[in-house]
């Protein structure tokens, strides 16, 4: 198999069409029979990029999980931020989460299903997270996990799975994920684009490409729902199910079969991107948010944009943003993290300047040095810890701010998580919707530093070159 070749986006035109109205009707009927609370564990805050009017809890206390179970909606999110954790921290968090879910479910007599929402470019603590969930659940209850569904499709970000190969869209080209910058991630890197081979690589051969069940686009587009259901009923021993998807309709058709299998007694865990939660949670599509919906009373203060992500797309978007003369830019020299005293002085300088400018009505964009720290090949955990120190310093801009910005945009998964939980001190937020495709907005809770604020969570690897500039223009009313 030659999996390293890019293909033209025109390949999508060769796929069979589906009757969307018919599929939507079948999905609606299926979801009414799914009597389970859906709990999405989000390894950074960007997983809500397809939903609206859904709660996000920023801790996994028993109290928060019980509150999520009691809500009317069929689904709630727990922000774990585990993409910024070490493996040890990730394991501890997921064990606690699984134990608290079991306790809450037992107390409230509710059934549940867990989706581990990871990055659509395949980065993150996989298979560690779902392995810990499985082991904890099976040890502490009578539940047995028959299989794990792998579904990284995310259309808004141009992440498609075709013939079992996961692609990332660059313009008119679909590039195999293993050939992209994301595959070279120093903490979560990989080499395979074929998802069966990726599973084998990530599990060190414990699960093989050969034993993986593949749900093809041909099966989905020809509505082979009974056949797919039958295949899912045969899955056991936590074997993996790879779902091909090039359109949301593919996820919907798979979900119809999945619900039938679940209702027949099968239990699955899920490692997915943001498309599956929207579909299985029955969340409708909603128009993009406007400034009038997001910015309440005019304060006369400027907004704040914080840019921490280092991926190429973010740097390109920053260069476009710099074309806006109304925004003041402050470069935060994050490389000083290796010199604690100088680093503290740099933090103080950035915070004082930012506050003065916002108070004077200027919108400020603070961005970290664009070159990543490189400590060498065998220093992954040390680099992760330094990146956490940098993120903490960036977060302290919001923590120490004495003036309420008109709006807040955070660019990058770890950055936006830390700003939300540590800087804004959000315990529970409501997802208002999206300001651009795949770019979600939280409405902060009453307990937060700035209650009711529009907080834009801008993933590092999502959006066109001009999207960050356009979001800033929308929110600043220019």
3-state SS, 370-406, equals CCCCCCCCCCHHHHHHHHHHHHHHHHHHHHHCCCCCC
What's residue 203's pLDDT? Answer: 98
Burial of 404 (0-12, 13-18, 19+ CB in 10 A): middle
- Sequence ranges of the chain with CATH classification 3.40.50.10840: 7-280
Q: May I ask the CATH architecture of the domain 291-476? A: 3-Layer(aba) Sandwich (3.40)
**Dist. CA 186–CA 375, nearest whole Å:** 11
Q: What is the pLDDT of residues 386-419, one digit of tens each?
A: 877 888 898 999 999 999 999 999 998 888 988 9
Instruction: Give ranges for CATH 3.40.980.20 in the chain.
Output: 291-476
Structure tokens at 364: 């400020």
How do residues 143-195 score in pLDDT, each as one tens digit? Answer: 999 999 999 999 999 999 999 999 999 999 999 999 999 999 988 999 999 99
Q: Which residue has the higher pLDDT, 110 or 85?
A: 110
Q: What is the pLDDT of residue 321?
A: 97
What is the fold, at CATH topology level, of the domain defined by 7-280? Rossmann fold (3.40.50)
Give the global pTM. 0.91
């Amino acid at each position: 198999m030659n999996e390293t070749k890019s293909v033209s986006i025109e390949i999508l035109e060769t796929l069979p069409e589906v009757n969307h109205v018919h599929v939507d009707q079948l999905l609606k009927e299926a979801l009414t029979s799914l009597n389970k609370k859906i709990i999405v564990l989000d390894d950074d805050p960007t997983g809500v990029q397809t939903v609206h009017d859904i709660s996000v809890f920023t801790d996994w206390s028993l109290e928060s999980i019980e509150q999520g179970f009691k809500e009317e909606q069929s689904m709630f999110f727990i922000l774990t931020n585990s993409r910024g954790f070490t493996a040890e921290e990730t394991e501890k968090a997921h064990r606690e989460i699984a134990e608290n879910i079991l306790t809450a479910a037992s107390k409230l007599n509710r059934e549940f299903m867990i989706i581990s929402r990871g990055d659509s470019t395949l980065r993150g603590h996989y298979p560690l997270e779902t392995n810990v969930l499985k082991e904890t659940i099976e040890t502490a209850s009578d539940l047995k996990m028959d299989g794990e569904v792998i579904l990284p499709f995310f259309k808004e970000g141009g992440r498609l799975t075709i013939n079992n190969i996961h692609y990332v869209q660059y313009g008119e080209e679909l590039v195999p994920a293993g050939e992209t910058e994301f595959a070279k991630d120093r903490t979560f890197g990989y080499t395979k684009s074929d998802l069966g081979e990726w599973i084998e690589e990530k599990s060190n051969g414990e699960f093989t490409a050969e034993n993986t069940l593949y749900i093809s686009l041909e099966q989905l587009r020809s509505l082979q729902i009974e056949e797919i259901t039958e295949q899912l009923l045969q899955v056991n021993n936590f074997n993996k199910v790879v779902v091909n998807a090039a359109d949301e309709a593919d996820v919907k058709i798979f979900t119809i079969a999945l619900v039938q299998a679940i209702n027949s007694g099968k239990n699955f865990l899920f490692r997915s991107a943001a498309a599956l939660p929207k579909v299985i949670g029955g969340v409708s599509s909603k128009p993009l948010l406007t400034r009038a919906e997001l910015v309440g009373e005019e304060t006369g203060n400027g907004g704040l944009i914080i840019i921490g992500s280092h991926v190429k797309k973010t740097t390109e978007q920053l260069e476009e943003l710099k074309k806006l003369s109304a925004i003041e830019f402050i470069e935060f020299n994050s490389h000083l993290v290796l010199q604690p005293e100088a680093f503290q002085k740099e933090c103080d300088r950035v915070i004082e300047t930012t506050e003065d400018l916002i108070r004077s009505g200027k919108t400020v964009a603070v961005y970290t040095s664009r070159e990543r720290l490189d400590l060498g090949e065998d220093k992954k955990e040390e680099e992760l810890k330094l990146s956490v120190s940098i993120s903490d310093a960036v977060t302290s801009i919001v923590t120490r701010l004495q003036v309420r910005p008109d709006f807040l945009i955070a660019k990058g998964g770890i950055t936006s998580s830390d700003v939300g939980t540590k800087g804004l001190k959000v315990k529970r937020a409501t997802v208002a919707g999206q300001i651009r495709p795949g770019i979600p907005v939280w409405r902060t809770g009453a307990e937060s530093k700035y209650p009711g604020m529009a907080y834009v969570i801008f993933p590092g690897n999502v959006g066109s070159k001009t999207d960050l500039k356009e979001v800033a223009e929308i929110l600043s009313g220019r």
